Amino acid sequence: MQYDFETVVDRREAGAEKWELIRRKDGSFPDGIVPLSVADMEFALAPEIRDGLKKVLDTEVMGYTCMNDAYKEAVCAWMEKRHGWKIQKEWICPSNGVVPALGAAVRAFGGKDCGVIIMPPIYPPFFGASKENGSHMVECPLINRLGRYEIDFDAFEKAAAAPENKIFLLCSPHNPVGRVWTTEELRRLGEICLKHDLLVVSDEIHFDLIMPGYTHTVFTKAVPEMENRTVICTAPSKTFNIAGMQTSNIIIANPEMREAFRKELHGSPSFLGFRACEAAYRGAEPWLDECLEVIQKNSGLVDSFLKEHLPWAVVSPLEGTYLKWVDFTRSGLSKEELEERMVSHGLYLDEGYIFGKEGEGFERINIACPEHVLQKALERMVEALEDIVPAP
């Protein structure tokens, strides 16, 4: 390995969100405990990004900043190289995050009577995106087939056919269940959206984090007929662990939709956010490739460790993201009891219930951390649950 994915970076006093959540629960940080919750990585910054930013600090002035041509070129080149997706520079709407962009899209295209379809279990801000922005939420839960999740196309078609439901918020790849939707699945969704005139907001923030054997397809590549009715949310933040830079790129091909969206979008990346994204897209691809190898290895570790020690737990196959979704419902524990067992064993994970009621009794484990950290966390997980007699 050319890069360091083994050193634990001490983030305890850095104001890091996932560490602050421990402080809020426990008042301080228990010794040797690393949280595996909020979706950022416990890895050092890619040297290409660090060096790029150092150069910027040495030479540039930090005034009010918009996208420059070099930035737009870097974004377009990344989309083409990693995703075979040709976009035009003017399609890029930079935003200070994907979550603010989901809200802006609902405000721009929704309205008081508009239903916004989502597929739980899902990343929690998807629930708020409709309600907090003047529309209402329509849930179309995924189907859990022994840990691998599928889309309920019948329920989706029914929801799409209701004339008040005008927006579909797609999560692709899907957080927290780790699915990378196939081209066929995306096409089927797209055909239903076309038939019933839906707009799609496709959150593809995890699109670079794909495991070997799987291919991410950008929604409008799978369904080109939807290009004029779709907002695609991308970002370098998950890919390169630079979420604190608050930079994302929302891609909208339709000029009227772009205009309406921009009117509702109130935040932009900062000067350093633009520069960090450019440095990442231009130079840090080799870092990402190694990072994906580490995630794949860590995913295998969770699979084999839990299979050996807690064989009744169901681990969803990781196709994309760095978030393992584990079903502990056979433990018979309530969601509160499960959480209590985890926390009292120094395991700060994301509790499944935050992703919707379908997630009760599940845990989401962030595996973007050094292998030895994950190994210790898994050992504590076994200690927390080894006395359980699983339900048949």
Q: Which residues bind ligand PLP (CB under 6 A)?
A: 39, 97-99, 123, 171, 175, 203, 205, 235, 237, 243, 248
3-class secondary-structure state, position 278: helix
State the minimum distance, in angstroms, from the CB of residue 102 to ligand PLP. 7
* 120 vs 43: CA distance, rounded Å: 29
Pull the structure tokens for residue 102: 């989901």
State the minimum distance, in angstroms, from the CB of residue 337 to ligand PLP. 26
* 258 vs 231: CA distance, rounded Å: 9
* 115 vs 270: CA distance, rounded Å: 33
State the minimum distance, in angstroms, from the CB of residue 203 to ligand PLP. 5
For the chain, how many residues are written?
A: 392
State the minimum distance, in angstroms, from the CB of residue 269 to ligand PLP. 10
- Closer to ligand PLP at the Cβ: 41 or 384? 41
State the minimum distance, in angstroms, from the CB of residue 330 to ligand PLP. 27
- Closer to ligand PLP at the Cβ: 43 or 305? 43
- Closer to ligand PLP at the Cβ: 98 or 218? 98
3-class secondary-structure state, position 63: coil
- Closer to ligand PLP at the Cβ: 310 or 369? 369
Greatest extent of the chain over all pairs of C-alpha atoms, in Å: 65
State the minimum distance, in angstroms, from the CB of residue 177 to ligand PLP. 11
* 377 vs 222: CA distance, rounded Å: 39
- Closer to ligand PLP at the Cβ: 203 or 319? 203
* 173 vs 176: CA distance, rounded Å: 9
State the minimum distance, in angstroms, from the CB of residue 236 to ligand PLP. 10
* 235 vs 247: CA distance, rounded Å: 7
3-class secondary-structure state, position 320: strand
* 46 vs 67: CA distance, rounded Å: 23
Q: Are strands 115-118 and 165-171 parallel, antiparallel or unpaired?
A: parallel
**Sole residue written with tokens 């420059």:** 68
- Closer to ligand PLP at the Cβ: 144 or 246? 246
Instruction: Calculate the dihedral angle through the C-alpha atoms of 304, 365, 238, 120, rounding to the nearest 10 degrees.
Output: 110
* 205 vs 208: CA distance, rounded Å: 8
- Cβ-proximal residue to ligand PLP, closest one: 97
- Closer to ligand PLP at the Cβ: 130 or 248? 248
State the minimum distance, in angstroms, from the CB of residue 112 to ligand PLP. 25
State the minimum distance, in angstroms, from the CB of residue 50 to ligand PLP. 20
- One-character DSSP codes across 345-372: TT---EEGGGG-GGGTTEEEEE--S-HH
Long-range contacts of 52-55, Cβ-Cβ distance < 8 Å, separation of 24 or more? 52/275, 52/276, 52/278, 52/279, 52/280, 52/282, 52/283, 53/272, 53/275, 53/276, 53/279
State the minimum distance, in angstroms, from the CB of residue 120 to ligand PLP. 13
- Closer to ligand PLP at the Cβ: 318 or 384? 318
First-last CA distance in the chain: 43
Q: Which element (helix H / strand E) includes 204?
A: none
- Closer to ligand PLP at the Cβ: 95 or 331? 95
- Closer to ligand PLP at the Cβ: 118 or 385? 118
